[in-house]
Structure 1
């Protein structure tokens, strides 16, 4: 996969957003993307930017609310294929150890 993105979709509310965030994550399942959710967002991988953007649009639309905030950062490496785990592995190689995880 060549397009990697960091996605965060959430309604603008004071109470828990978990149920709405879950709807956004579930919407990704309808697309040919891989994803990994973490406490601050979801890393999404796709073969091309069009597939990625279609999946992101569906995730955004899946969240109910008077106001929905979506953050998207795209890394579109066009010279070769690279997945998110490879990017982490390269940093870990430089560290000489596994990167720390949250508790």
Structure 2
């Protein structure tokens, strides 16, 4: 995957996902393909699907003084991918995003 606004790209030690982080606000998480739990077929061709890859978009926001959320506009200056968490560092905050719950592994 290639993004024109990419500033960082990384993956955790277990290589279960890859992440592309833009300079401001967004991170794109790409998961390894997983085997479907039921019979999944292509509607047009009828072929059985062996694996499904998933993508997630993380959009950074934080609570404002008016009890709603506001988009983060600070530059992202660092990122670390852990097996369970994605850490994103901006010029004013650090965000820890839980991607996988270890109790469900």
- What is the TM-score of this pair, normalised by structure 2? 0.30
Of Structure 1 and Structure 2, which has the larger fraction of its residues in helix? Answer: 1
Higher relative contact order (CA 8 A, sep 6+): 1
- What is the TM-score of this pair, normalised by structure 1? 0.30
Of Structure 1 and Structure 2, which has the larger fraction of its residues in strand? Answer: 2
